[in-house]
Amino acid sequence: MTSFPASVRDGIGFAAELFSKAGRAVVLTGAGISTPSGIPDFRSEGTGLWSREEPMEVASLNTFRTNPEKFYAWFRPLANQIFGAKPNRAHLALAELEGSGRIRTIATQNIDLLHQKAGSKNVIELHGSLATLSCTQCFQQVGSFSYLEPFVEKGEIPHCPHCGAVLKPDVILFGEQLPQRAWFDAQRASRDCDLMMVAGSSLEVLPVAGLPMQALDRGAHLIIVNNSPTYLDVRADAVVQGDVADIIPAIAEQVENG
């Protein structure tokens, strides 16, 4: 059992109380929920992906179209980390809360499939997913595993089995719109929920950062679990700062055990 400061224990207890009273809870997760699984976030100084690379130079749609080799050279170590990652205690706790009916929907900014690996069923992937790849010429979609495994191991850039063009992971790069269906579903869930928990997101990337406001505007309660402040801390019912892999399981334990 993790020992928490009194202020964190109070926040966990209040968050659990809000969950126990909610009937339509939604969770919005960001990169911070996957860092305990060994996947780097984007903005942490020294360790974040964008502390080492200029994002528009390696992870933009324009770069992929004009120089896919440059994109894949940057992407290979990240793909290796993602494929080797396992769900951590926060992912597993959220899956348990969903399984017991406490959570209706998980909307995630992550592409790592860790929520699904943990057992969550109703997951909205706002920034796409590594589960599939799409051809840049004939638009055929294929499952990713048989293509990304040799890419990670040998650096072989995946090509379409139908026309031979380069395959693109179905993740959202800079310069791309969010997947329309996922965005509509996330907005609908945010507007319909009576509780939203933000977990591991700095709420700095629009338009996803605006989803909690849509929930608040319709009277929902808001819980924020993150290791740094967000712009909505002043509007939240409960703000719990710390490691999501410790705090979310503690919330789930109190919810389930009373």
Catalytic (active-site) positions: 127
134 burial level (CB within 10 Å; 0-12, 13-18, 19+) = middle
Bond from prior residue into 77 cis (ω within 30 degrees of 0): no
Q: Are 107 and 186 in contact (CB under 8 A)?
A: yes
Distance CA 10, CA 30 (A): 24
Strands 141-143, 128-135: parallel, antiparallel or unpaired by DSSP? Answer: antiparallel
Would the CA dihedral through 100, 104, 107, 113 be positive or negative? positive
Backbone φ and ψ for 60, nearest 5 degrees, come out as: -105, 160
Rounded Cα distance between 127 and 176, Å, is: 10
Tell me which residue has tokens 């402040």: 229
CA separation for the pair 188, 183 (Å, rounded):
9
